[in-house]
Chain A
Amino acid sequence: MTSAEVSAPWWASEGFWRKCAIFVTAFMALVLIILTFHTLVVIEAGGESGRVPAYSVINHRIGFEFDSDRNHAVPTIGPLVPLFGEVLSEEDAKALVNHGKLTVQARNCMNCHTILGNGAYYAPDLTKAWLDPGWGNEQARELLMTMFLTDPVANKRTFGTNRTMPNPKLTEDEVRGVIAYLKWMSAIDTNGFPNGFTPLPQDGPILEPEEVVQ
């Protein structure tokens, strides 16, 4: 027996801190699990909270506008402006977005780019790539994005850095999937991130619901 053992007051004793460690860990884990159950419901795609949109949101014009109640910009879902001129069912939209996400993972885009701010810092954040002013305007965007993703070397901008995106050699379907994924992503409610982002002008033709051929 060492002297420390005999004289340690309760607040410095091993037993007390062992109990503390167990209790604190269990309590925090419990709170995290409860919050997780709640969060998972809230972030369901197309869920009631509207934070993560349904995949068929790609049939609509997406905006990013200041909301004075929340004091930051939030995504807005506008009139029908279907991607590649084609209105998709929720199921087809999901399949297309899914193909895009698989492609982004399979081609390892996140080790150059950030997505929702997570990833690598070698290339621009893609959270709002769909709305980037670099695409000019709504009418030019789909064509320019398709051209860029099909051949980023020939269509490079690089702003004098020569930091070029290598050609990911996407198939035509993969390009469409990636663009759908980026469009859907731009409609996620990110609590105002990226702050101060101003989308490209979107005043092209819209589709009236009764014009949609099923």
Chain B
Amino acid sequence: MKLGAINYSELTDAQRLAVKYFVVAMALFLAQMLFGVLSAIQFVLPDFLFGVLDFNVNRMVHINAMVVWMLYGFTGSIFWLIEDESGVPLVGQKIANITFWVLTAAVAVVVVVFLFVQSGPGEQMTLWLINEGREYIEAPRWADIGIVLCMLAIFYNVCGTFLKGKWSGISGVLVLDLVALAGLYLAGMFYTTNLPMDQYWWWWVIHLWVEATWEVLVGCIMAWGLIATLGANRRIVTTWLYIEVALMFGSGILGLGHHYFWIGTPEYWLGVGGFFSALEPVPLVAMVVHAIYDAGRHSFRSNNHPALAWLIAHAFGNFLGAGVWGFMQTLPQINLYTHGTQWASSHGHLAFFGAYVTIIVAFIYLAVQKLRGDVWMSSRLPYNGFLWKGSLLLTHVGMIGMTIALLIAGYEQAFVERAQGGSTWAAYFAGQTQPWFIQAMWWRLVFGVLMTVGVVMLLWDFLSIGAGETRTKLDVRRDTAPAIEEDSGVGATETQSA
């Protein structure tokens, strides 16, 4: 085995499959950036691509690419860790491979239809074949059914493998969470004339995904990441995971009510939603404490610096983007004015980035390290690690810049359009034409382009980091031995039946 060369023979079959998921995820990440930039250009130059790729098409591709690549990233991460965690090979390698190709083909067809067919007549047929017209889950019904079948196949593999091998606390949580995650998707697969009914169930998918099941899923991935990067103690990590589940589901399930203030649903949701969603930052604080505690306990020494940096970015990003930015608009007294403004966009960007982009990127760094034959990925990298540090910096500066610009725009919109103008057509444009708003939209574009450059560097780094490296990752363990040895270390085998 040659160190520093891409070496698939070191990987298990499931890990090779995970690499495929990661590759598609990163291609879609780049596509998401490009379509985000197109939408952002149209905000400041509305004639741009008018009538060819209208704003709604670009935005739809932007957010759908995001949802799909994140699901790919999660699936890849699960396949990456499953054989280590269960101790046995994947039960259905062939099915898993077929599922990947079927799913990827379906995604490709959906994207082509979104871009070239775009919309259809106002009939059921359009919802089945072209576009369902519901934000984030626009994929037509045929694709929904395909996605559910693929998710069942993936679930069969995950559950079957753990059943055959051994369970751990982390895998127990993971499997139950996947059941909920897949089940929730069904809530988005129907049509009704009744708009409040439509939005009621639509939020089950969106909110109970990002603020409950996805959070717990990344909690599992994070737990494993801490064990892998830092050699953290499995028992402590697992206990933390349970605490996080209790807090996250304890607040997030009823926190759903913060989307039921103004859609025709009964008034008790104002109280239920306001109260429980206000508690949602608590588990996110717990996660920061946990990550920093573990990193500090191991003196931040790790055999994979980029992965550790992105894991820490995850802890803070999740807390700030979801916890703080979410909390700012979650009380009904405030949400009455901020609802449906750029404020939500500010929060949506920072939350998705901070909570989900970061952790998937961290995980891919772990995978890349193994792919190169467990190379050294700590300090003293060639060019001082310019690419990983540069992309970390640019993506974060870009994202934070966009978030601040959107927050300023949101404040202004809430004030001028909502509070002063009473949200009429004219009031909407009164808000959009304020100088601060216009400037914010330019800044968002500038920072968006910066972020896109950061993402290109990141992808380049994935392809090049560790190439030609001659040191193994174990070299770092040798000079940091005392702090790490007392814990169980990478791939700890301490498990118990759940």
Q: Is the CB of B199 within 8 A of A107?
A: no
Q: Is the CB of B235 within 8 A of A121?
A: no
Residue A43, interface by CB 8 Å: yes
Q: Is the CB of A102 within 8 A of B122?
A: yes
Residue A202, interface by CB 8 Å: no
A-facing residues in B454-468 (Cβ within 8 Å):
none
Q: Is the CB of B197 within 8 A of A43?
A: yes
What's the tally of chain A residues with a CB closer than 8 Å to chain B?
91
Per-position 1/0 for B15-56, Cβ under 8 A of A:
000000000000000000000000100110011001100111
Chain B residues within an 8 Å CB radius of A119? 135, 340
Q: Smallest CB–CB gap between A16 and chain B, Å?
A: 8
Residue B378, interface by CB 8 Å: no
Chain A residues within an 8 Å CB radius of B167? none
From B131, B196, B249, B261, give the contact of A108 (CB < 8 A). Answer: B131
Q: Is the CB of B428 within 8 A of A125?
A: yes
Closest residue on chain A to residue B343 by CB atoms: A121
Assuming the A-B contacts A4-B233, A25-B253, are A117 and B340 also in contact, with contact meaning beta carbons closer than 8 angstroms in the complex?
yes
Q: Is the CB of A105 within 8 A of B133?
A: yes
Residue B384, interface by CB 8 Å: no
Q: Smallest CB–CB gap between B175 and chain A, Å?
A: 14
Chain B residues within an 8 Å CB radius of A29? 249, 253
Chain B residues within an 8 Å CB radius of A132? 424-425
Assuming the A-B contacts A116-B195, A134-B424, are A177 and B122 also in contact, with contact meaning beta carbons closer than 8 angstroms in the complex?
yes
Q: Is the CB of A190 within 8 A of B264?
A: yes
From B266, B337, B430, B488, give the contact of A51 (CB < 8 A). Answer: B266
Per-position 1/0 for B243-273, Cβ under 8 A of A:
1011001100110100111111111111010
Chain B residues within an 8 Å CB radius of A191? 261-262, 267, 270
Closest residue on chain B to residue A64 by CB atoms: B422
Q: Is the CB of B235 within 8 A of A108?
A: no
Q: Is the CB of A118 within 8 A of B340?
A: yes
Closest residue on chain B to residue A106 by CB atoms: B126
Chain A residues within an 8 Å CB radius of B413? 121
Q: Is the CB of A125 within 8 A of B254?
A: no
Instruction: State A171–B122 Cα separation when bound (angstroms).
Output: 9
A-facing residues in B129-168 (Cβ within 8 Å):
130-135, 138
Chain B residues within an 8 Å CB radius of A51? 196, 264-266
Stretch among B113-121, B223-231, B366-374, B470-478 lining the A interface:
B113-121
Closest residue on chain A to residue B234 by CB atoms: A2
Q: Smallest CB–CB gap between A73 and chain B, Å?
A: 10
Assuming the A-B contacts A112-B55, A166-B51, are A161 and B238 also in contact, with contact meaning beta carbons closer than 8 angstroms in the complex?
no
Residue B429, interface by CB 8 Å: yes
Instruction: State A189–B47 Cα separation when bound (angstroms).
Output: 37
Q: What total of A-B pairs shows CB separation below 8 Å? A: 275
Closest residue on chain A to residue B208 by CB atoms: A32
Q: Smallest CB–CB gap between B233 and chain A, Å?
A: 6
Q: Count chain A CB atoms within 10 A of each CB in B122, B130, B194, B200 and give the residue with the most.
A: B122
Chain B residues within an 8 Å CB radius of A177? 122
Q: Is the CB of B46 within 8 A of A17?
A: no
Q: Is the CB of A101 within 8 A of B195?
A: yes
From A13, A103, A159, A185, give the contact of B239 (CB < 8 A). Answer: A13
Q: Is the CB of A98 within 8 A of B193?
A: yes
Closest residue on chain B to residue A107 by CB atoms: B119
Q: Is the CB of A193 within 8 A of B265?
A: no
Residue A35, interface by CB 8 Å: yes
Q: Is the CB of A159 within 8 A of B50?
A: no
Residue A210, interface by CB 8 Å: no
B-facing residues in A62-98 (Cβ within 8 Å):
94, 97-98
Assuming the A-B contacts A105-B132, A111-B135, are A160 and B433 also in contact, with contact meaning beta carbons closer than 8 angstroms in the complex?
yes
Instruction: State A189–B260 Cα separation when bound (angstroms).
Output: 12
Instruction: State A160–B233 Cα separation when bound (angstroms).
Output: 61
Chain A residues within an 8 Å CB radius of B95? none
Closest residue on chain B to residue A188 by CB atoms: B264
Instruction: State A177–B233 Cα separation when bound (angstroms).
Output: 61
Instruction: State A111–B260 Cα separation when bound (angstroms).
Output: 20
Instruction: State A130–B488 Cα separation when bound (angstroms).
Output: 65
Chain B residues within an 8 Å CB radius of A52? 194-197, 264
Chain B residues within an 8 Å CB radius of A185? 195
6 contacts between A and B (CB under 8 A): A18-B242, A25-B249, A43-B266, A105-B191, A118-B199, A157-B425
Given contacts A103-B122, A115-B195, A195-B336, 5 further A-B contacts (CB under 8 A): A28-B253, A43-B194, A116-B262, A164-B50, A177-B122
Nearest 7 interchain pairs by C-beta: A105-B133, A103-B122, A194-B423, A117-B340, A111-B56, A159-B429, A193-B262
